């Protein structure tokens, strides 16, 4: 049960087939929004969309967020299917390779920047006009704690996430007086397939110990913050960067 009421709202959630995005799509749908899950994993995306919400309330569209024409089509689908766009969660992202900056793979750099940074820009680029046509809305960009602090061996991810925080601020300045709020959020390490696939047990222990709260976060804890920022309860929140990190960045 959720305290929010998004009935009459239409949402796009990129990367909504798994982990944090899936939890966001689920919570927005539970609160009454029509949700388009935009993800490049079609098998998973179709399955997740079918498993969430009532008949017809959640749909899936295959998209690679690093391709602007595909992102444009995903936004157009939301507008065509459900009549507008009011909420967007630009969440799709990858971890990318790990390695010291002086040896970092060039193709890995490009891929992370294309998906985690340009992908968020393409989201904003097409969501904002659709939201202006729909009377305004709220956008949440998925940064990370690594949008405000560094992390060794992860130069591309850290650069992309810092960039997401910056582009969020610029977009908020441009559109806050036109009824669109834009915020970014900074989750600490969250138990999702992204983390489970990239960290072994030992690394998970080390990463857990970096969170003063003594555990990793859950996708639902991140989705709660996203829902708040999407809601009218957050009507004065725009241009912000909000952490949900078990005090990781408080140290
Ligand atoms: P995840 O791997 O569980 O989910 C990511 C989803 O994005 C997947 O469904 C994947 O198919 C999709 N995706 C990846 N590349 C895509 C592309 N080019 N186009 C469309 N879809 C694409 O990961 P997650 O942990 O839920 O991460 C979601 C977001 O949260 C990412 O942006 C990640 O950087 C961020 N984040 C995660 C953590 C964490 O610890 N898990 C912490 C901070 C921030």
Q: Which two tokens stand for residue 145?
A: 């704690």
What pLDDT sits at residue 198? 82
Where in the sequence numbering do the catalytic residues fall? Answer: 157
Of the pLDDT bands very low, low, confident and very high (cuts 50, 70, 90), residue 231 is very high
**Residue from 13, 20, 188 whose mutation best tests the ligand 1 pocket (most atoms within 8 A of CB):** 20
For ligand 1, the distance from its centroid to the CA atom of residue 92, given in whole angstroms, is 5
Q: In sequence order, what are the beta bridge partners of 137? A: 180
What pLDDT sits at residue 211? 98
Specify the ligand 1 atom closest to the Cα of 195: 41
- Give which of 46, 90, 130, 87 is closest to 231, Cα–Cα: 87
**Residue from 14, 15, 143, 158 whose mutation best tests the ligand 1 pocket (most atoms within 8 A of CB):** 15
What pLDDT sits at residue 195? 87
What pLDDT sits at residue 2? 83
Of the pLDDT bands very low, low, confident and very high (cuts 50, 70, 90), residue 78 is very high
In angstroms, rounded to a whole number, what is the distance separating the alpha carbons of residues 120 and 122? 5
For ligand 1, the distance from its centroid to the CA atom of residue 177, given in whole angstroms, is 31
Give the pLDDT confidence of 25-71 residue by residue, as tens digits.
999 999 999 999 999 999 999 999 999 977 779 999 999 999 999 99
Instruction: Find out whether 12 and 87 touch, Cβ atoms under 8 Å.
Output: yes
Is the confidence at residue 194, as pLDDT, over 80? yes
Q: Report how far Cα 18 is from the mean position of its chain's Cα atoms.
A: 11
Residue 181: what are its φ and ψ, rounded to 5°?
Answer: -100, 140
Check: pTM over 0.85? Answer yes or no: yes
Give the pLDDT confidence of 143-167 residue by residue, as tens digits.
999 999 999 999 999 999 999 999 9
In angstroms, rounded to a whole number, what is the distance separating the alpha carbons of residues 90 and 58? 17
Ordered DSSP codes for the chain: --S---TT-EEEEETTTSHHHHHHHHHHHHTT-EEEEEES-HHHHHHHHHHSSSTTTEEEEE--TTSHHHHHHHHHHHHHHHS---EEEE--------B-GGG--HHHHHHHIIIIIIHHHHHHHHHHHHHHHTT-EEEEEE--GGGTS--TTBHHHHHHHHHHHHHHHHHHHHHGGGTEEEEEEEE-SB-SHHHHHH--HHHHHHHHHTSTTSS-B-HHHHHHHHHHHHSGGGTT--S-EEEESTTGGG-
**Residue from 39, 52, 93 whose mutation best tests the ligand 1 pocket (most atoms within 8 A of CB):** 93
Specify the ligand 1 atom closest to the Cα of 187: 43
Specify the ligand 1 atom closest to the Cα of 115: 18
Percentage above 90 pLDDT, the chain:
94
Q: Residues enclosing ligand 1, CB less than 6 A?
A: 14-15, 17-21, 39-41, 63-66, 91-94, 115, 119, 142, 144, 187, 189-190, 192-195
Of the pLDDT bands very low, low, confident and very high (cuts 50, 70, 90), residue 101 is very high
Residue 194, number of CB atoms within 10 A of its CB? 17
In angstroms, rounded to a whole number, what is the distance separating the alpha carbons of residues 124 and 153? 29
What pLDDT sits at residue 41? 98
Is the confidence at residue 205, as pLDDT, over 80? yes
Specify the ligand 1 atom closest to the Cα of 66: 18
What pLDDT sits at residue 109? 98
């Amino acid at each position: 049960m959720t305290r929010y009421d998004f009935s009459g709202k239409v949402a796009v959630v990129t990367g909504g087939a798994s982990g944090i995005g899936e939890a966001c799509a689920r919570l927005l749908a539970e609160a009454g929004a029509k949700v388009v899950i935009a993800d490049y994993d079609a098998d998973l995306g179709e399955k997740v969309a079918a498993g969430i919400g009532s008949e017809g309330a959640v749909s899936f569209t295959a998209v690679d967020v690093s391709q602007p024409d595909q992102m444009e089509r995903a936004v157009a689908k939301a507008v065509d299917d459900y009549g507008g766009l009011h909420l967007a969660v630009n969440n799709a992202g990858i971890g990318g390779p790990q390695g010291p900056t002086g040896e970092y793979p060039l193709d890995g750099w490009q891929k992370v920047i294309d998906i985690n940074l340009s992908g968020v820009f393409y989201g904003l680029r097409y969501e904002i006009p659709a939201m202006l046509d729909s009377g305004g809305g709220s956008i949440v960009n998925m940064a990370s704690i690594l949008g405000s602090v560094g992390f060794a061996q992860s130069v591309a991810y850290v650069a992309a996430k810092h960039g997401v925080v910056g582009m969020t601020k610029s977009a908020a300045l441009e559109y806050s007086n036109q009824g669109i709020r834009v915020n970014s959020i900074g989750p600490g390490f969250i138990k999702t397939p992204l983390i489970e696939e990239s960290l072994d047990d030992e690394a998970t222990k080390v990463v857990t110990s970096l969170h003063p709260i003594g555990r990793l976060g859950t996708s639902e804890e991140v989705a709660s913050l996203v829902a708040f920022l999407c809601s009218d309860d957050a009507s004065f929140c725009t241009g912000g960067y909000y952490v949900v990190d078990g005090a990781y960045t408080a140290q």
